[in-house]
Amino acid sequence: MHEAGANHSAEGRSFREYGWEKKHLNNRAWRSAANMRVLAQIGAALKLYMVGLKVLLYQLFHRPFASPVLPVQCGKVAIVTGGARGLGYEVARQLTGLGMHVIIASRNEKQGLAAVKRLREERSGAQVDFEFLDLASMDSVRRFVRRFEDRRLPLHTLINNAAVMLVPEGKTEDGFEQHFAVNYLGHFLLTRLLLGVLVRSGTTKACSRIISICSAAHYTADTDLQDLRSMRHYSPYAAYSRSKLAQVLFTYQLQQELQSGGFAVTANAVDPGMVDTDLYRNLSTPAWLAQRPIARLLFRTASQAAGTAVFTVASPELEGVGGCYLYEGKRVQSSAASYDAELQARLWRSSCDLLGLPESELA
């Protein structure tokens, strides 16, 4: 009896020790994974800040792009997403100055209507109005397109400008990561659904133009298209950079599709540089406080930064020219990854699958 009891006690200790060891190993694995996530976030942040520093140094020693006199655009219609404030508002303002009918598309109705009011007060007879659009909702994008089509207007320019940056981890109503949805996928859907009217509005002598407002952040992005929605390890820095790379990849693939189809529509990417807007409001408090004085000294104003986008919309030099990445009024090289034709095609297919769109049949 005593011996059996001793054996039972030894087995009990063995089971308890095994359970403790298993729990200890699980804790170690969890801590190791957590450390890897932290290191990945730090790495993504450092890469983004280094690119930002490079852009600031360029802006320190170079004057902002001064657009030449551009031809009037009377009778033409443009949609500017995120046009209620910041860079988008300034693009809308300058386009109305060229005589375009501008539709400001924004999820903030109060700001959008206020922007329309200011533009009409500033320029008598300005054709500008507001339409609600929430790019985080694919249903909102579809409803926006239906409302626009009901107006029977032509569309000569689509400016995909709206963006979020460094937002906390979260999913949209469709289950997409927020940077991915707002910066890229919502614009992908919007562009695809508006291609029909863009094609009908363009001619061989005056192509319709699609401009995506991109960012130097795309130079730092990884190319893991298996994790487009940041489902594994979330980093706001990596998610923002990846969404901006997706925009450039989309622009190049879109241009290929348009050219292959013989459509009178061009697609280009525009990098506005570092601009003093509230896009940086999600920086950590120390980073935001450090950024403010630098922004006043080295960042471009929204008015200055809008120049390249407006030039890309209206310049005769870019008539029929697509598939370019423009910065400070010049065509420059985007990242090596952005020219990967296989990556472009894979992103296109993945996006169509996510949205239930055909890969071909653009218009």
Residues 6+ apart with CB under 8 A from 234: 169, 177
Among 32-46, 230-244, 258-272, the least confident range: 32-46
Three-class secondary structure of residue 95 per DSSP: helix
Among 6-15, 92-101, 123-132, 162-171, the least confident range: 6-15
Cα–Cα distance list, 31 to 35, 42, 96, 227, 361 (Å): 6, 16, 55, 22, 49
Q: What is the mean pLDDT of residues 147-172?
A: 96
Structure tokens at 308: 């390249």
Tell me which DSSP letter residue 300 carries: B
Structure tokens at 169: 């981890």
**pLDDT digits 0-9 by tens, 110-133:** 999 999 999 999 999 999 999 999
Give the CB-side neighbour count of residue 73, counting CA atoms within 13 A. 31
pLDDT of residue 2: 46
Statement: residue 28 has pLDDT above 70: no
Inter-residue contact 227 to 323 (CB < 8 Å): no
Statement: residue 10 has pLDDT above 50: no
Statement: residue 34 has pLDDT above 60: no
- The catalytic residue among 184, 219, 240, 325 is 240
Cα–Cα distance list, 12 to 21, 26, 84, 254 (Å): 14, 21, 69, 66
Walk me through the domains of the chain, giving residue ranges and CATH numbers: 40-355 (3.40.50.720)
**Comparing 59 with 185, which gets the higher pLDDT?**
185
pLDDT of residue 5: 46
Q: Is 240 a catalytic residue?
A: yes
Confidence of residue 200 (pLDDT cuts 50, 70, 90): very high
Phi, psi of 157 (to 5 degrees): -145, 130
CA distance 157 to 143: 19
CA distance 231 to 208: 36
Portion of the chain with pLDDT greater than 70, in percent: 81
**212 beta partners:** 160, 269
Inter-residue contact 252 to 343 (CB < 8 Å): no
Q: What is the mean pLDDT of residues 52-58?
A: 87
Statement: residue 137 has pLDDT above 50: yes
Indicate the pTM of the whole model: 0.87
pLDDT of residue 290: 57
pLDDT of residue 233: 74
Inter-residue contact 82 to 131 (CB < 8 Å): no
Phi, psi of 33 (to 5 degrees): -65, -40
**Which of 155, 146, 144 is CA-nearest to residue 101?**
155
Statement: residue 107 has pLDDT above 90: yes
Q: What is the mean pLDDT of residues 58-63?
A: 91
Mean pLDDT, the chain, as a whole number? 88
Statement: residue 151 has pLDDT above 90: yes
Portion of the chain with pLDDT greater than 90, in percent: 70
**Comparing 242 with 298, which gets the higher pLDDT?**
242
Three-class secondary structure of residue 208 per DSSP: strand
pLDDT of residue 44: 76
